[in-house]
Amino acid sequence: MTQELINLRNSILDGRYDDALAIVDELEGMSKQGTLRQIESFLIRMMIHLIKNQLEQRLTNSWVASISDSIRRIQKLNLKENKTSYYIDRDEWQPFLEESLADAIRPASAEVMNNAYTPFQLSQMIDRSQIIMTAKQLLDLTYSYSGEKLLEIVDERLILLPGGEDWKEGK
């Protein structure tokens, strides 16, 4: 990125404004790609815990913390600097969710049931549509709630997952 900034400065100083605008567009694209990569990493983290929840039929404090934190961080990353638009709109999540779920299977296989299944076996066991639907419902909350209220609502939704009531009761 340093070279791009040097090129931008030189383009402006030389009066090559079309070149400068092209560099600005390139920098904006790089920034967006970086943000999307960060969002995807939090999606994968969330998917790992949703896979574990689905297969183990339980919910732990650690899993809740990871899911909630992922949702909150996605919310912060997804909101553009203008505070009025998003990198990923509410109706654009499907391909990100599908890819993140696929990417989460391998690391989840090392954690589910104490490493009892290979990624291939785990892939055959999960209900993909259910996990994606749950993730989408959680992500939808990021457009309606913020801060502490978001985390409260996420917790209320997580209670509905398998083992959620036991988690709430501390069992």
Provide the residue-wise pLDDT of the chain in tens; the chain has 171 residues: 577 666 666 667 677 666 566 656 565 655 678 899 999 999 999 999 999 999 999 999 999 999 999 999 999 999 988 878 999 999 999 999 999 999 999 999 999 998 999 999 999 999 999 999 999 999 999 999 988 899 999 999 999 999 999 999 998
Tell me, yes or no, whether 96 lies in a domain. Answer: yes
Residue 103 maps to a domain: yes
Residue 145: inside a domain: yes
d(CA 44, CA 125): 18
Q: Is residue 84 part of a domain?
A: yes
Is 24 within a domain?
A: no
Which amino acid makes up residue 75? Q
102 in any annotated domain = yes
Give the number of domains in the chain: 1
> Is residue 17 a part of any domain in this protein?
no
- Kindly report the number of other CB atoms within 10 A of residue 13's CB atom: 9
Distances (CA, A) of 127 to 36, 106, 110, 122, 135: 25, 15, 18, 10, 13
Within-domain flag for 47:
yes
Q: What angle do CA 107, 79, 131 make, to 5 degrees?
A: 35
Boundaries of domain holding 77: 35-169
Instruction: Enter the tokens of residue 69.
Output: 């934190």
Residue 142: CB atoms within 10 A of its CB come to: 22
